[in-house]
């Protein structure tokens, strides 16, 4: 069953991520561009939220991510019925740094944005995976995406790329480690005899694979999809207020960009043309460096999607850590880039 899941995951990622990104990398190396900013042309004055603005952004966003979003839902539901609890617990179930490291490493081939990785993180948590390893997988997907780092090196600069790698590693594994420390003693680590009993119960169930998968997929759809769509619409309407270019280039703008970047939702690698467009109109390196980490790491929709899978204190830890890392990135960027 594990082999079947890995085969399906590899085939899906090859179609949705690996093959398209290989060709895109070749194009980016020649053009030094990955397209226009999904935010549109930067404006220096704030407009007002509109329904048309919400729908237009949602349509543009979902056109970019729908294949990966579907793949994330399928893999998140399939791992619950194909992968034995014992196998997952051996790699990701302990409340130690080793499980966090495994979660972060496994995220590397995924190359998904935060919302597309969220259903898989939900599926992992439902299989008794530790909070830290699930977080490392979820955050590592967008932050440590090898394809995004390649695009960034060609389009922005090696300094932006190095800053993303260093702070991305610290954020991914640091948050996972702290989360495991916070949850130590509060999560039940399944003993081997419990795992054997659980596996035997799964194998002896009278329900067919299709019945169990449909049940898992149905729960996943009800839990993550409604909040996902609604939050994307809300952020699409509010984007005219989230990035105030008239706020100057000081600490206020850094803080506003750090918070806005943390809440806003974008497709994979969309932070690159957004940063490029802001720099083209003269926005300083500090505020745009905040977006380098905060835009891809998490978003309001992805937080809502995983909200039932992690305790509130863990979600607050993630939220605060991303904003703080964005501020640190802005400080380093203003001094170095």
Q: What is the dihedral of CA 316, 321, 322, 328, to 10 degrees?
A: 150
Whole-angstrom distance, CA of residue 168 vs CA of residue 144: 6
Candidates 110, 24, 15; CA nearest to 67 is 15
pLDDT (tens place) for every residue of the chain, 337 residues total? 788 999 999 999 999 999 999 999 999 999 999 999 998 877 655 678 888 989 999 999 999 999 999 999 999 999 999 988 888 888 898 889 999 999 999 999 999 999 999 999 999 999 989 999 999 999 999 999 999 999 999 999 999 999 999 999 999 999 999 999 999 877 654 434 333 334 444 444 557 888 889 999 999 999 889 999 999 999 999 988 888 776 566 888 999 999 999 999 999 999 999 999 999 988 889 999 999 999 999 999 999 999 999 999 999 999 999 999 999 999 999 999 8
Whole-angstrom distance, CA of residue 301 vs CA of residue 205: 35
pTM: 0.92
3-state secondary structure of 33: coil
pLDDT at position 103 is 96
288 and 253 Cβ atoms separated by less than 8 Å:
no
Half-sphere exposure of 33 (CA within 13 A, CB side): 5
Angle separating helix axes 51-82 and 209-242, nearest 10 degrees: 150
pLDDT at position 78 is 93
């Amino acid at each position: 069953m594990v082999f079947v899941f890995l085969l399906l995951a590899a085939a899906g990622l090859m179609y949705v991520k690996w093959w398209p990104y290989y060709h895109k990398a070749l194009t980016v190396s020649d053009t030094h561009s990955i397209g226009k900013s999904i935010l549109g042309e930067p404006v220096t004055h704030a407009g007002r939220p509109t329904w048309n603005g919400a729908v237009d952004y949602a349509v543009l966003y979902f056109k970019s991510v729908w294949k990966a979003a579907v793949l994330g839902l399928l893999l998140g539901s399939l791992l619950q019925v194909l992968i034995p609890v014992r196998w997952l617990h051996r790699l990701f179930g302990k409340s130690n740094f080793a499980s966090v490291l495994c979660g972060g490493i496994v995220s590397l081939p995924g190359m998904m944005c935060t919302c597309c990785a969220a259903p898989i993180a939900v599926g992992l948590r439902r299989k008794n995976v530790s909070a830290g390893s699930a977080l490392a997988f979820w955050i590592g997907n967008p932050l440590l995406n090898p394809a995004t780092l390649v695009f960034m090196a060609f389009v922005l600069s090696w300094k932006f790329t190095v800053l993303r790698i260093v702070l991305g590693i610290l954020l991914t594994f640091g948050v996972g480690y702290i989360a495991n420390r916070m949850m130590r003693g509060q999560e039940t680590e399944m003993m081997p005899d419990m795992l054997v009993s659980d596996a035997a119960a799964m194998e002896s169930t009278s329900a067919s694979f299709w019945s169990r998968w449909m049940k898992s997929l149905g729960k996943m759809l009800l839990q993550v999809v409604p909040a996902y769509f609604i939050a994307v619409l809300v952020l699409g309407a509010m984007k005219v207020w989230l990035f105030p270019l008239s706020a100057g280039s000081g600490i206020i703008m850094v803080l506003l960009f750090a918070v806005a970047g943390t809440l806003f939702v974008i497709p994979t690698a969309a932070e690159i043309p957004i940063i490029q467009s802001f720099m083209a109109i003269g926005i300083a390196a500090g505020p745009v460096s905040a977006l380098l980490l905060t835009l891809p790491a998490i978003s309001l929709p992805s937080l809502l999607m995983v909200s039932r899978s992690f305790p509130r204190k863990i979600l607050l830890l993630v939220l605060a850590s991303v904003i703080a890392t964005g501020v640190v990135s802005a400080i380093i960027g203003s001094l170095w880039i």
